[in-house]
Every structure is written in C-alpha cells, then in structure tokens.
C-alpha cells in the first residue's frame, strides 16, 4: 500500500539501472518488458457502474475506508504532500461531516465529483458531499501527553523517530495512517474505539475513543487515545511492522495485517530449487539479509560486488527497501543504540536484542479491544506474507488473505473449529491453502491465445500447504529468537575472521556466502527443498515433524516450490459484506495485472492491464471461492491520459458496504497515465442479477430451486423473468410460484415441454425490497427424470420507478439428478444440505459412516462414475479417494452434532 520505494530516488535509480520491477516504482521488470504493450480488449470496463465520490489531497493514497452503521464515511489521508492547502498537508484520519450513504444499494445518494482541474483542487480533499473533518492527525498529543498519535516508542518511552535515532525508518513516523476499524461499545453503534494502522516500521496501531453527537456528527477524545503497540503485551510478541490494511472480525475486534515486503527469500519468479541448483547469484531475496548490519545497504553492496568482479552481475534483491526500520524495530524491543555513522559500512553490529524475522508478516487480532492493555494475537498459522488484508468469513473458520507486491499470492486458511470457540486463541488450528489457477483460457501456452483479463474468469483449485496450530507455529518461531547481527557475521565467515575489528571485510565475506548458500541463521534452503520433496511424495500431512514449519514460516517459498500460482502482482484488496454467506461475493483487488501475470511463465499468461483488475468470487456452502470473475478492469495505459479519468486504476483497498456496493480506493499517484495525479475514491454499484440456485434431486423426486434477485437498488418497479432447463431428460419444471411478498403478479406459466417457466410482476408496494437489496422473486419445482447434469438458465427484463430499463446480469445454475441407488442400498441418494452433492449416499436421511463405506465399495461403479459431480466432495472436479476422505470428515462432523 504505502510504497516507500517510489519515494526513494536511490531505490528508483537502482531499479532503473537493473531493469527490474520494484513494486510501485513504475519501472517494468525484464520479464514484463518482453511482452509488447498493446490495446487490451475490455480495458477499461465495468460490469455495473462507477461513480467518483472523492479525491485525496495531492500525494496521498485513498486508504482505510470505513462506513458506520448510519452510513457515515471516513478514510485516511495517507502521506499527503507537505505543500498541500492548510490541514490537508497533515496525515491523519477524517470523516465526511454532513454526509451519510443511504445504504439502499443505489448510487443515487450522491452526485458525481468532477475531476480535479486546478492546483487548488488538487491540493485538498474534495468530495461530492460532506466536508472532510479530522478525528486525529499524525503526531497529535494523546494519552495525557505521554504519546504522540502514530509514533512508536522504546520501552523507556522515547519516540522512535529520525530525530532521536540514526538509521533507516520505513516511512517517517506517523505519516502513513492506513486501515480504520470501528469497534462499537454500545448497541446503537454510536460509541466505541477507532483503531487505525500506521504503516511504518516499527509498526503501530492507535486506538481513539470516538462518539456520535445528537446531530449525527462524530467527535474524538485524543486525551484518552493510545498507541496500543507501546505496551508490554505487544512487545511480548515482537511488536508489529508495516501495519497495512485489516478487517473487522465477526467477533468485533480489529485485525491488523503486517505488510512485510521484506519476506521474500527468492526474487520474483525464482524458486529455492533454482538457488540450490545454480547458487544464489541473481536469485536471492531480501529476507536472507534480515540480520545483516545495515540491511538496506545490501542492494548497493550487491551492485558493488558485481562491479568489482566478485559477482557476475547485479540483480534486484526483491524487498530490500523494506528492510528499512528493522534496526529501529530492535530499539523498540530494547536494543542499545549502535554507531551507524561513517562510510563503507563501518558500523557496529547490534548484538544484544534483535527482532526475529519469523515474528512479522501476520494478521494480528487485537483481542480485549476496550481493555487498558489490549491483547495481540498473531495468527502465525495463517501464513507469513506481505499481507495487505484479510477477510474473515461468517462461518468463523475461513479467512482469505492478499499478499501485496510482485509475484505474490492469494491464500486461504480454514480452521478446524470456529475461531472464537477456542478458549485460548493460540490453540486455533487449521489448514493453510495456496491457489492453483487451472483453466487453460488463462494461459496462452495452453489456449494458443493471449486473452484479455476482462474476458476470462480464473478457476481456482486450493492446494493444502500444511496443517498446524497457532501454538505449534509459535514454538517453531521461538527457535530463531536471540539471533542478532553479530550472528550474521560469525555464521558466514571463516573461523578466525575479525568480524568487529575489520567489519567491512567481514561483511563482504558474509554477504557473498549468504548469496551462494543462504542465511544459515534461519530456515535453510535445504529444509525447504526437503519439505517439498516429502510433500510431493506423501502429501501435506505426511512430512516429518521438524519440516512442518516450512509452509507457515516460509509460505511464499513453499507455495512456489510445489507449483502454486504465486504470480499475482500487488494483490491489494479483499473484502465481503459483514453478513456475507453462501451466494455472496468476496471482492479481490489486483492493483497491476502485469509482470508475472502477463509474461511467459506461470499459470496465468494474459494481456497486460497496468491499471489493474477487481475480481469477485462467489462463496459456496463451504465458504470456498472457486472462481474469480473480473468486474472492474482498469486502463491498460495504451490510450491517452483522458481515458483513465473515469476508471479505477491501481486499486488498493476494497470495502464492501452492507448494501452490496463497493468502495474502490486508488493507489496510483504519479504512476499512471491520467490527466491529473490525485487518487480517488469510487463507489461501485453492481448490476442487478437474476440468479437461480443449483440443486440436486433423486430420480422420481422433486426439489424447489429459488430465483433470487441480487444487488437490487431502491426503486424496482417490476418486469418479467424466465427460467429454462436445458435438458428435460435430466429435470423437468413441474411448477412455479412467487413469494408472499410480491405485489401484483401474473400467474407463472410453465411451457408445454416443461422446460421454461415465465414470471411477470409489478412491485406495487415495494414489499420485495423491505429486506434489503437481495430477495427471492420466485421458485420453480424441478422433478428428477434421469441421471445427469443440466444447466438452468435465466433471462430478465426489469424497470425502475422512472420507467428506465435496469441492466441485468442473468446467472445460470445447475440441476443434477443422481442415480436411483448406489450398490446394495434400495434408496435414492439425497442432498441434505443443498450443496448439490449426495452426502447421504444410502438415502436413509442422515450422513453417517455407512455412507462412507458404501461410497468406498462402489467408487468405480457405473452409478457413481456416471454421476461423478454428485460425489465430488472435495470439489476438485474429479472422482478420487480424497472424496471418500472428505465425506468421512463430513460424517464425523454430522455425528458430533447428533445427526
């Protein structure tokens, strides 16, 4: 999110010299430059509508949006230019006084903001409604004058700023406010705490008491505010670094994500196997230099070694710039300050207290949010990455996460039990997954055509990386506590080397050894490869105990080694509605669709869209997203700057409001071809959808399928719609009906061939919209005729209250008719939970061990193989023994629940 690299002339010049991709620098990678930029179809485009609400002040990103229960909006003014008008030069958090979204699904609640055309307009925060009003500014006096808002302190209370300490800091202290989450403390949600991330290293999270006045305005109490990281509880877990975006958990706590850009052990698309086979020259990433004295200077050192002939060439050490602030993090933990002055790396190594790299790059759940000292819980078990954001689902088990930067991933974690049910959060256990993009259309090597990302959905298979508990991960991490900068020198130089008296020579010797063979102070390259070998042979749960740590502590490297699709470039947003469930969408923001998404490597090889893509994926009954659909596509930058004026480019945060609209926040300042430099906040209104549920039915049985209207704004007048079965040999339509809420309606008509049902209605009393923007508009009764699968298609024509046609996306479902029986069972298999699969294999009305045995004994029978989809319980699009295991686990859950 905050891209310090693009604000560093040194970093940009290095990237330019190397021809490598530095996140946010605007410098194309060597791989990306091989793909000629051309006009990408569908770029820009949107399925629905976009409306500009605000532009930030010059130099600032749009970050940390939050919408209160009454529709009030706030966001952070992150790293604005110091020369902006008045208070807009100050980083901080503010809300739009005098404005509330109506939360009725329609963008008619505000007018569109014009683009900033004058210098005066560019130097301030503008909005189409309301006035941006600060609740707190960076470095404001807080906590009775003992702290400054957003400023981290040492244990003795000294502010960690460049004024007080020599060295590097990731962003000037308190200049990068990011995520905001409001934790309400009353039922009316008018009082509570505003938690704000400060994207620095050492990282910070502040807590400000805020309340709503009788006239609907918000006010803060800075005297009672605090930086929660300046507590013993946070120091006990190592503190935080680069706190980026986050989420409000379903159990009403702030979750802060650490965007640890310095975590790559291999640069870009390379693997650990490449290093072991060829040596690390040209391949090694930043994390291998974590405990190097003066770690940010490693890029300059690599360039010098190449120039002197000690290396064949220099390369971009991915993430080196994010090693800024690691030494300041040591001071936060209590290290004594060392002499960091002088030339040629003549500095003193820190040898007393130093941060453990495996303690950073996690989602941090701030439990007991109203306590004098909140409790931080780092979810190590959810993987280590440069986390932009998580999205905690309402099954209380599933979490999606986006890792920002080049060649990174989208990950999923599924807990064994509901996360808040664990008495001790350190006992949370579950499985970590990485994605594999499986459809040929996304890969020019397989399809023969380089497709536009605007036209192709991405199909995902989730690959399990490992299973563990949070406590186990913490034990593995603790093995690397106590490692200091002195250890870097002593472990990678010959016996007898004077590592302190001749520091410059010792540092060079150690650097060259680490480049060749890896940093021996931490998990070794050989351990990663041995884990991968055992994984390939025995599966994720068949590796030695001492290697189980690898996918949790070295998540990106492990995922790459087993062929996961870790090639997303700047995955910067993920969110869903607070009450999201099966059938709802999770939105994923990919800030730039280029580099490894468009080059000649990996599972995705499509046209470049430098302005990025926003995807959505529908949650199934297991809260799994298996397909990503592009809904907003940014400009590809082949057109002139005016083409990007009304399109989202370089998406950052996405925030899904309760009415289904999506706030789209930009992070493209001075990087894209737009006629003005400011980032903007857009509101996305999805098209209305007419969706029919997928069903499974036994031969001779019948089942109801619901027709659902989604994303319906206030003002639906009525219209007509139809449902059509593609193959009546599989199912026939036996009947159709409306819900009780419909106003004036014509009796549904079922065609003579039982393939189509047609509905016509007028919503005369708006009763159908009383429950929100999603509701059932009809049902069809489907009868199972013969084994097989068929499409169920919809078509609709709807009008709004003004008589204007509403854009409608017609969505299809599936109907599956299963076998009349399996094996020796006399009964028809049944779908008990509506997920389109026959978990009740013997048809006795429950899921139990007998179903597992029956499927095992008949896995290769015609009744099963000809209906493979009905028994594909692990959802990998094929029938295999893993389906039996998945059914066995399902039967165990059912048994535990008394079914």
Give burial (CB, 10 Å; 0-12/13-18/19+) of 337. middle
**Listed range (155-164, 561-570, 635-644, 827-836) with the worst mean pLDDT:** 827-836
DSSP assignment letter at 3: -
Average pLDDT over residues 710-735: 91
Q: What is residue 671's predicted lDDT score, i.e. its pLDDT?
A: 64
- Of the chain, the end-to-end C-alpha distance in Å amounts to 47
- Say which residues have a Cβ less than 8 Å from residue 309's Cβ, sequence separation at least 6: none
Average pLDDT over residues 775-798: 92
Does 31 score more than 60 pLDDT?
no
Assigned token pair, 623: 């809260």
Q: What's the rounded Cα separation, in Å, for the pair 637 and 639? A: 5
Neighbours of 498 (CB within 10 A): 11
Q: What's the rounded Cα separation, in Å, for the pair 15 and 20? A: 5
Q: What is residue 874's predicted lDDT score, i.e. its pLDDT?
A: 81
Q: What percent of the chain has pLDDT over 70?
A: 93
Which pLDDT band holds residue 835 (cuts at 50, 70, 90)? confident
Q: What string of DSSP letters covers 141-200?
A: EEGGGTEETT--B-TTS-B-STTT--S--BSSTT--EEEEEEEE-STTS-EEEEEEEE-S
Assigned token pair, 255: 């979750």
Q: What's the rounded Cα separation, in Å, for the pair 430 and 417? A: 8
Q: What's the rounded Cα separation, in Å, for the pair 100 and 74? A: 10
Give burial (CB, 10 Å; 0-12/13-18/19+) of 847. buried
Q: What is residue 341's predicted lDDT score, i.e. its pLDDT?
A: 58
Q: What's the rounded Cα separation, in Å, for the pair 769 and 104? A: 9
Q: What is residue 340's predicted lDDT score, i.e. its pLDDT?
A: 66
Assigned token pair, 173: 């202290």
pLDDT tens across 760-783, in order?
Answer: 988 777 666 555 688 888 999 999
Assigned token pair, 276: 């072991």
Tell me the torsion sign for CA atoms 13, 18, 22, 27.
positive
pLDDT tens across 470-508, in order?
Answer: 999 999 999 999 999 999 999 999 998 888 888 889 999
Q: What is residue 307's predicted lDDT score, i.e. its pLDDT?
A: 96
Instruction: Out of 498-512, 653-667, 690-704, give the one with best mean pLDDT.
Output: 653-667
pLDDT tens across 76-116, in order?
Answer: 999 999 999 899 999 999 999 999 999 999 999 999 999 99
Strand runs (DSSP E) across 213-264, as ranges?
Answer: 218-220, 226-227, 243-248, 254-258
**Listed range (47-56, 103-112, 647-656, 794-803) with the worst mean pLDDT:** 794-803
Q: Which of 460, 540, 411, 467 is nearest to 876 (CA)?
A: 460
Q: What is residue 866's predicted lDDT score, i.e. its pLDDT?
A: 74
DSSP H or E stretch at residue 490: helix 485-491
Does 754 score more than 50 pLDDT?
yes
pLDDT tens across 115-155, in order?
Answer: 999 999 999 999 999 999 999 999 999 999 999 999 999 99
Average pLDDT over residues 37-51: 92
- Say which residues have a Cβ less than 8 Å from residue 228's Cβ, sequence separation at least 6: 195, 205, 206, 207, 234, 366, 373, 374, 376
Q: Which of 270, 267, 262, 279 is nearest to 315 (CA)?
A: 267
Average pLDDT over residues 371-378: 98
Average pLDDT over residues 424-431: 98
Average pLDDT over residues 533-560: 97
Q: What is residue 415's predicted lDDT score, i.e. its pLDDT?
A: 98
Q: What percent of the chain has pLDDT over 90?
A: 74
Which pLDDT band holds residue 881 (cuts at 50, 70, 90)? confident
Q: What is residue 79's predicted lDDT score, i.e. its pLDDT?
A: 96
Write down the number of H helices and E strands in the chain.
17, 42
**Listed range (57-66, 243-252, 446-455, 802-811) with the worst mean pLDDT:** 802-811
**CA distances (Å), 226 to each of 65, 197, 223, 259, in order?**
21, 12, 8, 22
Which pLDDT band holds residue 461 (cuts at 50, 70, 90)? very high
Q: Which of 694, 696, 693, 695 is nearest to 843 (CA)?
A: 696
DSSP assignment letter at 262: T
Which pLDDT band holds residue 717 (cuts at 50, 70, 90)? confident
Helix axis angle, 881-896 to 849-857, nearest 10°: 170
**Listed range (424-428, 521-525, 601-605, 774-778) with the worst mean pLDDT:** 774-778
Q: What's the rounded Cα separation, in Å, for the pair 240 and 225? A: 19
Confidence (pTM): 0.91
Average pLDDT over residues 659-677: 87
Q: What is residue 770's predicted lDDT score, i.e. its pLDDT?
A: 55
Q: What does pLDDT average to over the chain?
A: 90
Q: What's the rounded Cα separation, in Å, for the pair 882 and 884? A: 5
> Are 366 and 205 contacting, i.e. CB atoms less than 8 angstroms apart?
yes
Average pLDDT over residues 173-198: 97
């Amino acid at each position: 999110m905050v891209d310090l690299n693009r604000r560093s002339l040194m970093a940009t010049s290095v990237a330019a010299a190397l021809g490598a991709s530095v996140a946010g620098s605007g410098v194309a990678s060597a791989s990306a430059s091989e793909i000629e930029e051309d006009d990408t179809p569908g770029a820009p485009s949107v399925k629905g509508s976009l409306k500009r609400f605000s532009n930030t002040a010059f130099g600032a990103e749009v970050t940390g949006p939050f919408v209160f229960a009454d529709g009030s909006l706030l966001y952070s003014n992150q790293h604005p230019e110091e020369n902006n008008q008045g208070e807009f030069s100050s980083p901080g958090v503010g809300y739009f006084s005098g404005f509330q979204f109506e939360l009725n699904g329609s963008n008619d609640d505000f007018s569109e903001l014009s683009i900033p055309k004058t210098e005066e307009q560019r130097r301030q925060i503008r909005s189409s409604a309301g006035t941006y009003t600060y609740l707190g500014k960076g470095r404001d006096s807080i906590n009775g004058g003992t702290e400054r808002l957003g400023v981290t302190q040492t244990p003795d209370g000294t502010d960690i700023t460049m004024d007080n300490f020599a060295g590097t800091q990731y962003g000037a202290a308190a200049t990068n406010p990011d995520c905001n989450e409001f934790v309400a403390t009353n039922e009316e949600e008018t009082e509570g705490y505003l938690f704000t991330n400060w994207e620095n290293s050492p990282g910070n999270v502040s807590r400000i008491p805020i309340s709503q006045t009788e006239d609907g305005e918000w006010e803060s109490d800075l005297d009672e505010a605090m930086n929660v990281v300046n507590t013993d509880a946070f120091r006990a877990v190592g503190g935080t670094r680069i706190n980026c975006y986050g989420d409000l958990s379903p159990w009403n706590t702030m979750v802060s994500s650490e965007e640890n850009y310095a975590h790559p052990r291999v640069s870009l698309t390379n693997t650990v196997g490449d290093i072991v086979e060829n040596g690390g020259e040209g391949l090694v990433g930043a994390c291998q230099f974590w405990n190097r004295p003066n770690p940010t200077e490693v890029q300059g050192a690599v360039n010098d070694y190449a120039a002197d002939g000690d290396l064949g060439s220099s390369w971009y050490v991915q993430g080196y710039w994010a090693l800024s602030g690691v030494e300041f993090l040591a001071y936060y933990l209590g290290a004594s300050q060392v002499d960091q002055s002088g030339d040629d790396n003549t500095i003193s190594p820190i040898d007393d207290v130093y941060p453990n790299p495996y303690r950073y790059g996690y989602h941090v759940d701030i439990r007991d949010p109203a306590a004098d000292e909140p409790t931080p819980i780092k979810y190590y078990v959810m993987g280590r990455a440069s986390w932009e954001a998580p999205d905690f689902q309402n099954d209380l088990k599933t979490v999606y996460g986006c890792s920002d930067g080049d060649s990174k991933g989208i990950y999923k974690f599924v807990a064994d039990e509901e996360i808040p049910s664990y008495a001790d959060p350190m006992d949370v256990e579950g499985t970590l997954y990485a994605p594999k993009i499986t459809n040929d259309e996304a890969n020019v090597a397989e399809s023969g055509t380089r497709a536009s990302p605007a036209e192709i959905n991405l199909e995902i298979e989730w690959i399990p990386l490992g299973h563990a508990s949070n406590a186990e991960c913490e034990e593995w991490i603790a093995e690397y506590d106590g490692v200091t900068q002195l250890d870097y020198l002593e472990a990678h130089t010959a016996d007898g080397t004077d590592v302190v008296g001749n520091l410059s020579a010792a540092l060079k010797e150690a650097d060259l050894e680490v480049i060749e063979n890896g940093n021996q102070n931490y998990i070794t390259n050989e351990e990663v490869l041995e884990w991968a070998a055992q994984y390939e042979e025995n599966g994720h749960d068949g590796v030695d105990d001492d290697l189980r740590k690898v996918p949790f502590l070295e998540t990106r490297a492990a995922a790459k080694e087993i062929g996961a699709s870790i090639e997303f470039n700047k995955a910067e947003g993920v969110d869903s509605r607070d009450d999201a469930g099966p059938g709802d969408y999770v939105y994923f923001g990919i800030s730039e669709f280029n580099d490894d998404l468009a080059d000649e490597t990996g599972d995705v090889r499509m046209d470049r869209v430098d302005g990025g893509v926003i995807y959505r994926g529908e949650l199934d009954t297991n809260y799994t997203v298996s397909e990503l659909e592009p809904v907003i596509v940014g400009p590809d930058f082949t057109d002139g700057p005016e083409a990007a004026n009304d399109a989202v480019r370089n998406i950052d945060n996405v925030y899904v409001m309760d009415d289904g609209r999506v706030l789209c926040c930009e992070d493209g300042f001075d990087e894209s071809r737009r006629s003005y430099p400011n980032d903007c906040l857009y509101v996305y209104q999805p098209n209305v959808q007419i969706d029919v549920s997928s069903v499974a039915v036994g031969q001779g049985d019948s089942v109801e399928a619901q027709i659902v209207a989604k994303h319906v704004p206030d003002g639906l007048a009525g219209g007509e719609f139809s449902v059509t079965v593609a193959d009546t040999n599989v199912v026939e339509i036996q009947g159709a009906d409306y819900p009780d809420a419909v106003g004036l309606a014509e009796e549904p008509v079922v065609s003579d061939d039982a393939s189509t049902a047609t509905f016509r209605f007028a919503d005369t009393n708006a009763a159908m919209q009383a429950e929100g923007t999603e509701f059932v508009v009809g049902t069809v009764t489907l009868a199972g005729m013969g084994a097989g699968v068929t499409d169920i298609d919809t078509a609709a024509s709807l009008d709004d209250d003004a008589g204007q046609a509403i854009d409608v996306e017609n969505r299809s479902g599936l109907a599956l008719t299963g076998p009349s029986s399996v094996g020796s069972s006399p009964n028809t298999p049944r779908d008990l939970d509506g997920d389109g699969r026959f978990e009740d294999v013997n048809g006795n009305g429950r899921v139990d061990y007998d179903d597992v045995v029956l499927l095992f004994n008949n896995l290769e029978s015609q009744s099963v193989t000809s209906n493979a989809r009905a028994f594909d319980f692990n959802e990998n699009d094929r029938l295999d023994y893993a389906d039996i295991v998945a059914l066995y686990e399902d039967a165990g859950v059912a048994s535990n629940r008394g079914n």
